[in-house]
Amino acid sequence: MEDPDVPPQFRATNADYKDSGYDRGHLAPASHHKHSQEAMDQTFFLTNISPQVGTGFNRDYWARFEKFSRDLIDKWDDVYICTGPLWVPEKGEDGKYYVKYEVIGEPPKVSVPTHFFKVILATNQRNLEGSPKSDATHHIGAFILPNQRINSSVPLESFSVPLETVEDLSGLTFFNLLPRYSDSPATTSAVAVQSPKALVPQALCSSTECTLPPVNFWKVPKAKKELLLKEVDQFEQSGAEQKMLPCTLTAAERKLIHDAAEKKGLKHVTLEEKGKRCIQLAK
């Protein structure tokens, strides 16, 4: 939806995306903001949307990357994620560098990113069984992915880059209060700061297996899908104002419920209860 805080002449609209061939891709995913209806609604402002290639990227590889990022909270106390678009220069035949990208809309005003970045800071890894805990308290992962179809077999680590690469291309600095050392695999610049070794960021993928969830991880078996959709239908038709669904649902099943509730205009939020994620429906 349009963002009313943006002046109309600069504001993206749904019409800009019509017949463009691009998905309206979230930067901050709706699935990361299910703690309240207001937070989830705000993710649908077009200021949080960028044109993304659909098949092979937004609906596939990027969706798996978002799920990987979301699941990090099961292994770390705190996870901070920064996501944004990039327009990366390429070297031309004349040896000079150029930035070339498509612009959609009528009149054209929505620039199509050539790449997207995601910077992740995870702190205080939990000492899970079978997973050795790192001595460092802070781990950073920086990734740049091209806005194009990506083969599902390509490992996530192939898109890992030094944090400074994202900063140089985006014009932004990330987590600048953390010390950086030249021997830190998460960064490349040296900063003369006397800090405890535990505060020096280490590479996220050195302590966490950077393996994406399987292809089609969000699919729910047909019988289970019919059962869950029936439960949403029954709530919609009932006189009840609220309904708490079982806290044993998988991530794919929760997504199915959220999508079904959204289509019916029902309120739907994810609540944390004794370390488990539960969905509450409301009218």
Please say if the pLDDT value at position 181 is more than 70: no
Average pLDDT of 235-243? 94
Tokens of 202: 């280490």
User: Mind listing the domains of the chain with CATH numbers?
Assistant: 8-213 (3.40.570.10), 218-283 (3.30.1370.50)
pLDDT band at 241 (very low <50, low <70, confident <90, very high): very high
The single residue of 26, 33, 138, 139 carrying the catalytic annotation is: 26
**Separation of alpha carbons 188 and 247, rounded Å:** 43
Does the annotation flag 176 for ligand binding? Answer: no
139 is catalytic: no
**Separation of alpha carbons 59 and 137, rounded Å:** 33
116 or 260, which is more confident: 116
The tens digit of pLDDT for each residue in 125-137 reads: 876 554 545 556 8
Output the CA torsion sign for 73, 74, 75, 78.
positive
The tens digit of pLDDT for each residue in 188-228 reads: 444 434 444 555 678 888 777 899 988 877 778 889 999 99
Instruction: Please report where in the chains the tokens 């959220």 appear, as a residue.
Output: 258
